[in-house]
Structures are given as C-alpha cells and as structure tokens.
Chains A and B, each alone.
Chain A
Amino acid sequence: MAEQRQYEVGLHPDLPPPASTTGAIGWVRANLISSPVNTLFTVFAIYLVYTMIPPMLDWLIFDAAWVGDDNSVCKNETGGPIAAACWPFIKVWITPFMFGRYPESELWRIKITYGLFGIALLALLIPQIPFKKWFALFLLLPFPIICFYMYVGGSFGLMYVETNLWGGLFLTLVIAITGIVASLPIGIILALGRRSNMPVVKAICVAFIELWRGVPLISILFMSSVMFPLFMPEGVNFDKLLRALVGVTLFSSAYMAEVVRGGLQAIPKGQYEGAKALGLNFGKMMYFIVMPQALKLVIPGIVNTFIGLFKDTTLVGVIGLLDFLAMIQAGSSNPKWLGYLTTGFAFAALVYWCFCFGMSQYSQHLERKLHTGH
C-alpha cells in the first residue's frame, strides 16, 4: 500500500531517525535486551554486581580502619586483626613501600628525578605545550644518565648508595622502565634479524628469541643470581640488580621481537617497492617507511608486552631484590603488623592497576592519534 509522497523527487530533506532507536531507551534496547540470551546475560550481570560490590565496598571503605598511627585501630575486641582493610598499615609503612631501604636523608635525590620525569611527561601529554621534541629527547637521553648518577651517587659529592638498599615501588619502576626502554630497540633489531636473508644472522636471532622465550623468567632470574657468579672468575662480581635488569630486558626483548615481526609481516610488499623505487636504501626504507607503519600496527601488542613486563618485575623478589610487592610482604611480616597482608595486597593491586591502566589508555590515545584513515 503506497503512501502519498510527501516531498517532490530530489527534494527529500534529512529527517531525524525514529526516537526508539536513539537516546537512552534506544541504547538499552540495542545493548541490554536485544535478544533473550542478551537479556539473560544482563540479568545475570546485575545479580553478580549486586552480590559482589557491597561486601567489597564494606571491606575496602565502610568497615575499614582509616585513621591512626599504630596497629591499635586495626584490632577487634579480641585483639585480632579486623575483618576489613587497615589503611594505617599503609600509611605507617609508606616510605619503605615507595623507596625500600634507601637512606631517608637521600630520598630527595629520587624525588627530584620523579619531579623531572613528571614535568617532561606532562609537557608531552598536554597538547598546548610547544617543544615536544626537546622534552622527548630529554627523557630519552640525559634523563637516564641523570637518574643513574642521582640514584647510585658516589660522585658530585653525593653519598654512595648500594643497590641492595634500593627497593619498593622505586625499584619496581627502575626495573620496569629500564626493561621497557631497552627491550623495544633490542626487539626491533631481533625482529629484523629474524627476517634477514643472511642465514647466520637469522639463525642467531631465531636461537636467541626461542631460547629466552622458552625459559620462564623466574628461572632466568635464578640463573642470573645463583649460577652466573659460578661461571665468573673469582673476585669478578656484577651487581645483582644489574644482572636482574639484563635478564628482564632480554626476556622481554624476545617477546617484543615476535610482536614487531608480526607487524613487519603485515606491511605489503608494495611499500618496500615504493620506497626502493625512490632510491631509499635499506636503513632509510626501514626507518621512514616500514617501521613506523609496522610499529603502529602492533601498538596493542607492544603495550601488552610492556604491561606484562611491568607486572613480571614482581618476580625479582625471589632473588632477594625488595621490589614493591616484596616490601609489602616484608612490612606485613613485622610482628606488630601481622595479619594485614591482604590490605597490603589490595594497595599493591591498586597501584599496579593504575600504572597498567595508564599505559593501556595511553596506547589507545596513541592509536587514535596515529590513525590516518586507511
């Protein structure tokens, strides 16, 4: 049954879509109750939220102890620990959690580098601030050197601080950031090597990648701290932290290499040919044409590896390095604070989550920014 035409041919205006397909009602319809199965899932999800969230909030917030400077506020009538979070535990131990046993008089050295890092990072993230290139260059080149001299000391009139005093979140960040910054270039080189036409180069890279990828990180760390010194001549002694850094970096480089190789494989042959036909040599072709596209494609995989690496740093606890998590365990094994490990873990989870979620958000921002419509 044809309705009467309301407009002349060619003069039909743009009409808004029907109300039932837009707005809140449209959204609920399309996303929550679009089919019987979907409706079932929605009901189930609401039930789960209802049973889990209130007890969690009670434990974390409403029943938790919030104020106080000792363990007395976290005890129940019988003198045992309360069945909820004990936040004063974190408050009392915050300095060791953040910096390990780093001498308290020298903490300013770390804090200054945090400040520098924060300023440079903000400058990079806020679009209105100019000279981005210089801030990035600062973070990449002089900053690690400044950090090294600040943390280790022993020169420029700074007190020498042994690395076995380093600890807490500070140590975690040192290991994670070194690993992240070093594993990307090493991974790229390994990925290129694995795709090389030269059999020897290729074999070395394949062997390296498969070796490191095939061994659990924890055994690499054990090897580095227990076995490695046995192979060394008497008296030669590498720093334990340095060995862990090398282990973590090479381990994640192997993963990174495979992620990057995946990106390289996705670049069409035409891109290589276009570049070669213009006279770009291998290095320039890789640097200007292939790598930017390949790396952009695998940003999710790269950030995935970074996040994995960040959390894997907790394994350095097994070789006696007191990273963030190890410091929390140390704190809760103090006789005065027995029984508050769960609070410590909740705090650790929150901190790790913030860092990892931040990385994830930044990667998504980067993907959107680099999208050029193809």
Chain B
Amino acid sequence: MSETNVGADDLHHPTKTMSVSDEVVIEINSMHKWYGSFHVLKDINLKVSHGERIVVCGPSGSGKSTAIRCINRLEEHQKGQIIVNGIELTNDLKKIDEIRREVGMCFQHFNLFPHLSILENLVLAPMWVRNIPRNEAVETAMKYLERVKIPEQAAKYPGQLSGGQQQRVAIARSLCMNPKIMLFDEPTSALDPEMIKEVLDVMIELAEEGMTMICVTHEMGFAKTVANRVIFMDEGEIIEENEPNQFFDNPQHERTQLFLSQILAH
C-alpha cells in the first residue's frame, strides 16, 4: 500500500479518481426512528451513488450504528423512506431479504458463527441464500480468503483466530455474497492497535475496486484516504457533510470542531 500515504496530491490517489456513477444505490428521505419515546434518528437525508465511499463519524451514542443498521433493516425506521438498490424498505419480508442479499455488513464484534469453521462461515450464505453449488461456493470462499490473506486458516474455527483475522474473515464472508454495497460499523474499534492496519488495508483495497461503502469509523487516516464524503452525526442528526479535506481542515459547525479536536488530541 505504498500509494496510500495521505499527501497534498491525494486527489491523484487511485481511490479518489475511481469513477462514481450517477446511479443512486441508497436513498434516505426524511427518515426518523424512535426507541420507545426516545427520538434516536431525526430527519436523516442521504443519497449514495454507486461506487461512493462514505465515512460516518460522531460521538458515541449519536445514532451512527442505528442509522446504518436501518439500511439493511436490522433496525426498523418509523417515518420517512429508505430505498436501497431501487427497492423501498417496508415490512415486506421478501423485499427485506432481497435487500440483505445485496448489502453486506461487518460489525464491531465480527459476529462470526463460532460453531462453524472459517470455510463453512464463508460458504453458508452463498449456498443457502443464493443456491450456489458447494464446490463453486468453496472456490469463491478460498478466493476471498486469499484476498484477505488468510487462506491457511480455512479449516480453523473463529475462536482460534486473532481479532484482526476474525474481522478479515467477516469481510470475506460478506464479499462471498457478492454484495453491491458494504456497510461497516466500527470494524476496527474492538481490535488491538497492531491489528487495525491489517483490517484497514483490506478495506482500502476494497474501496480501490470501486465497492460502494458506508463506514462508521473513527480512523481519520482511513477517511482521508478513501472517503468521497465524511458525515458527522450528533444526537441523531446529520450535522455536517463534506468532502474529506474540507471536513478535516475546515469544519463548519462548532460541534464538528469540538469532536475533531477531541479525537485528534490523541
């Protein structure tokens, strides 16, 4: 990853010059969500084009996770509209399944299936959701395990891998479903410092290939390297949204400034 040093000319970086098409793959219109009477998400509006990479940041409890989990209906919104890949999210279970097939997700705590070997973790969904024959699914799984650089772990169980390896397996598991969109919810925040890079490297590579991505993360280096847009959330609202250089160098809102000063102080 010699080209990923973040410099003045990072507009010439390959990931930044990746074409972003006009095709809108995620559209969120005035979306609200409540937990009981607690208003967690307030009037969220977002359009994501095919190939776009968006980083979401904000203080803990600001609703970042809830927001991206609404996109694949792990959480239900109560007002407004979410359209993913041309399908509107409603209570229709068929449509929810259809969307989930196209949207991969990686979690803070990996959520690998501990009773299945790594290979079985990877082939399960392709075989039983996409009805791909086993040998083909295994082939794809090995291809992605090689891409995340741990093909030798295929026969092991998740409990035998390090956190960084588990997160890479989780990414590979999502990719095996050949998703159009990838969601990441703080994929590196449960990892020991020396493992963060190996996961970010995989994510950067994915971005370079043109995957549409929404990442909740506080890895500002990553945001500068790959993001087209950075979104700042606080108390359930999108406070600020900008292109990364502008966002970091010239934050508009005082809450953004406060937040950035806090995380950059470290």
Contacts and interface: CB of A to CB of B under 8 A. Distances in A.
Q: Majority SS of interface residues in chain A? A: helix
A157 to B, nearest CB: 45
A280 B128 contact: yes
B80 interface: no
A279 B100 contact: yes
Contacts of B101: 279
Interface residues on A, range: 20 to 34
A271 B114 CA distance: 9
A5 interface: no
A277 B104 contact: yes
A281 B98 CA distance: 10
A280 B111 CA distance: 14
Given A373-B160, A374-B157, A374-B159, A276 B74 contact: yes
B239 interface: no
Given A288-B128, A372-B159, A374-B158, A279 B177 contact: yes
B115 A279 contact: no
Contact of B97 (A273, A279, A293, A373): A279
Contacts of B129: 278-280, 284
B110 to A, nearest CB: 8
Nearest to A289: B113
B83 interface: no
A278 B114 contact: no
Interface residues of B, number: 28
A80 interface: no
B112 A274 contact: yes
B93 interface: yes
B247 interface: no
B114 A270 contact: no
A284 B100 contact: no
A270 B177 contact: no
Contact of A278 (B158, B159, B160, B174): B174
Given A273-B111, A279-B177, A293-B115, 20 more contacts: A270-B111, A271-B113, A273-B105, A274-B107, A276-B72, A277-B100, A277-B103, A277-B104, A277-B107, A278-B124, A278-B125, A278-B173, A278-B174, A279-B97, A288-B113, A293-B114, A370-B115, A373-B157, A373-B159, A374-B114
Interface of B: 72, 74, 93, 97, 100-101, 103-105, 107, 109, 111-115, 124-125, 128-129, 157-160, 170, 173-174, 177
